[in-house]
Amino acid sequence: MDVSERYDPNEYQTYSHPQDITCGIHGAKEKDPGKAVNPVVSFLKKYGHKSIVSLGCGVRINRIDNHIRLMTGLNLSYYVCIDRLYEIESISSSAFADPEGMTELLIRNYGGNPHNLFKAIKIFPGTLVEDLQDVSCAAVICQRILPYCRWENAIISMNPKLILQEDLHGCERQNFRGMGYVRTRSGIRRYALKPFRPWRIFPGEYNMVFWRRKDFGVEKITNNNFLWFRKVIESIP
């Protein structure tokens, strides 16, 4: 069963918002204090500990292989997508860079029915990253961030165990060093994350940066003699 078929967006799109509010960020919308609580905030307050959140999913949700690898590796229940855009296309054949491999992964994790993944996808269009200030979640994906946006404080306030920066066009400007997070190369191996482009930007660097919260271990280390070595490796910029 191929998970790359096109889906009806009504199957997974959760909320929509009115488009009558303007914001200081060009093209975005601003929170209206007179409105009810933002739906994504309500959702994450209830299910944030079971959710991985993709910031800036874009008009088309695609190349989410690593996101789902991380989601299943952490045994999470929901893949939450937000974007300031109000129209987000339904999932298409470009959702996965490796459809066959992801189908196998989903069959193993969803009782033989990979389509069950799409019941776990929750879309919140018309949502700003700033809306999620102090709203906790298990993990954060930074994939599409404009270079002038600095969201470190908002992301840190969400207290994720892991932060994956991917595609490195703007999102790499978010630097979490010294904020309770360290880069983890062992985490890339632990969750079998793969760069969706075949080339590397710098020697030894895949076009992704993976951060872990200092109090969260991505793998159990039974030999403490190697603990210092891992810390040295993860401290390299």
H/E element, 166? strand 162-166
Categorize the per-residue pLDDT at 175 as very low, low, confident or very high, splitting at 50, 70 and 90: confident
- Three-state DSSP class for 77? coil
Q: What is the dihedral of CA 37, 39, 42, 48, to 10 degrees?
A: -140
CA 113 to chain centre: 23
Q: What percent of the chain has pLDDT over 90?
A: 41
Mean residue pLDDT of the chain comes to 77
Could you tell me which residue, 49 or 61, shows the higher pLDDT? 49
Listing DSSP states for 90-152 in one string gives PP-GGG-SSHHHHHHHHHHHTTT-GGGGGGSEEEEES--GGGGTT---SEEEE----TT---H
Task: Report pLDDT for 35.
Answer: 56
Could you tell me which residue, 217 or 64, shows the higher pLDDT? 64
β-bridge pairing 162-166 and 208-213: antiparallel
Q: Is the pLDDT of residue 141 over 90?
A: yes
Categorize the per-residue pLDDT at 62 as very low, low, confident or very high, splitting at 50, 70 and 90: confident
Average pLDDT over residues 221-236: 49
Task: Report pLDDT for 24.
Answer: 29
β-bridge pairing 181-183 and 162-166: unpaired
Sequence length of the chain is 237
Task: Report pLDDT for 4.
Answer: 44
Q: What is the pLDDT of residues 24-48, one digit of tens each?
A: 233 444 445 455 678 999 999 999 9
Where along the chain do its domains lie?
Answer: 9-234
Task: Report pLDDT for 167.
Answer: 73
What are the C-alpha distances in Å from 228 to residues 116, 146, 190, 204, 223? 41, 36, 18, 21, 10
Which residues are 54's β-sheet partners?
81, 141
Categorize the per-residue pLDDT at 146 as very low, low, confident or very high, splitting at 50, 70 and 90: confident
